[in-house]
Amino acid sequence: MLVGAHESIAGGVANAVDRQLENGGNCGQIFTHSPQVWQDPSIDDTDAEAFRDRSQKHDVGPWVIHSSYLVNLCTPKDGLRAKSIDSMQKEIDAAAQLSIPYVNVHLGAHTGAGEQQGLDNAVSALDELTVPDGVTILIESDAGSGTKLGNKFDHLEYILEESTHELEVCLDTAHVFAAGYDLSTPAAVDTTFTQFDATVGLDNLACVHLNDSKHACGTNKDEHAHIGKGKIGESGMEAFINHSAIDPVPLVLETPSEDGKGFEWNINRVRDLANDPA
């Protein structure tokens, strides 16, 4: 199975491959810079080549670039919109440089403009981007606090249908659960996948952020927990991990490092629940 974690690029982006291998992962995700500030990726050609070579040599991939947390595609503010588009374009260019197939982004918040206007703002912002062959933008499901969009499958469906780009979706289990789609039992997992397929379409699911949730279903609270140790729980996580809908979708962990458990523990936990020894 394809399972890995969001790894640091400290010391050079190629180091993310080594960290992934140390944690037992075979796919993963990175930030190209701190996600909390407006900053451009700074990856030289030598490091990019080393990243590509190590990934190929050790068969680690696919990788995903996660865009900055500051990006807001739904915003009605011209200045923030321009910064968001510029930031996304640079992430897309970095993905092409690194031969990374996916750039993941949250839609953002409409901040009072209204749900429909926010969605339309996101579509028009996305359509200003130049996306080269070999790179696909993933729209991530959101927990939906405040005026953030992407918490409803209908939102994701609308963006995919209206954009001129061939977009796909990253489903975050903690976000989906917080947004009100239950994943805590095998029956609930089946129901949620049925709802997803009827709107977004399972053929548009390219990646999963696999996280348990510290908060109950429908709370709109985004706080990740170790696999099987949160409110989704072991039964729900096991059902999700083994569901035919996500085979062979890459599973990327964004679980916390606490209680003596980190990415290695969580990757092993996923493999245990999947009965996958490799």
Q: Tell whether omega for the bond before 62 is within 30 degrees of 0, i.e. cis.
A: yes
Q: What is the pLDDT of residues 164-175, one digit of tens each?
A: 999 999 999 999
Query: Could you give the C-alpha distances from 185 to 3, 48, 178, in angstroms and in order?
Result: 22, 42, 15
Provide the pLDDT confidence category of residue 30 given band limits of 50, 70 and 90: very high
CATH class of 3-274: alpha beta
Is 106 flagged in the annotation as binding? yes
> Using CA atoms in the order 262, 106, 223, 175, what is the torsion angle rounded to 10 degrees?
-100
Residue 209 is assigned to a ligand binding site: yes
222 is in an annotated binding site: yes
Question: In the chain, helix, strand, coil percent, each to 5?
Answer: 40, 15, 45
| 205 pLDDT more than 90 | yes
10 Å CB burial of residue 28 (0-12, 13-18, 19+) is buried
Q: Does the pLDDT value for residue 277 go beyond 70?
A: no
The proportion of the chain whose per-residue pLDDT surpasses 70, expressed as a percent, equals 99
Helix ranges restricted to H, the chain = 15-23, 45-57, 78-98, 115-126, 153-162, 173-178, 186-199, 233-241, 263-274
Does 172 show up as a binding residue in the annotation? Answer: yes
Angle of helix 45-57 relative to helix 78-98, nearest 10 degrees, comes to: 60
Average pLDDT of the chain to the nearest whole number: 97
Band (204; pLDDT cuts 50, 70, 90) = very high
What is the spatial distance between Cα 47 and Cα 208, in angstroms, rounded to a whole number? Answer: 27
**243 in a known ligand binding site:** no
Residues 126-180: pLDDT tens digits? 999 999 999 999 999 999 999 999 999 999 999 999 999 999 999 999 999 999 9
Mean pLDDT over 25-47 rounds to: 96
Do 23 and 45 contact (CB within 8 A), yes or no?
no
User: Is 223 labeled as ligand-binding?
Assistant: no
Taking only the tens place, the pLDDT of each residue in 239-257 is 999 999 999 899 999 999 9
140 is in an annotated binding site: yes
Annotated ligand binding at 212? The verdict is no
Is there a binding annotation on residue 175?
Answer: yes
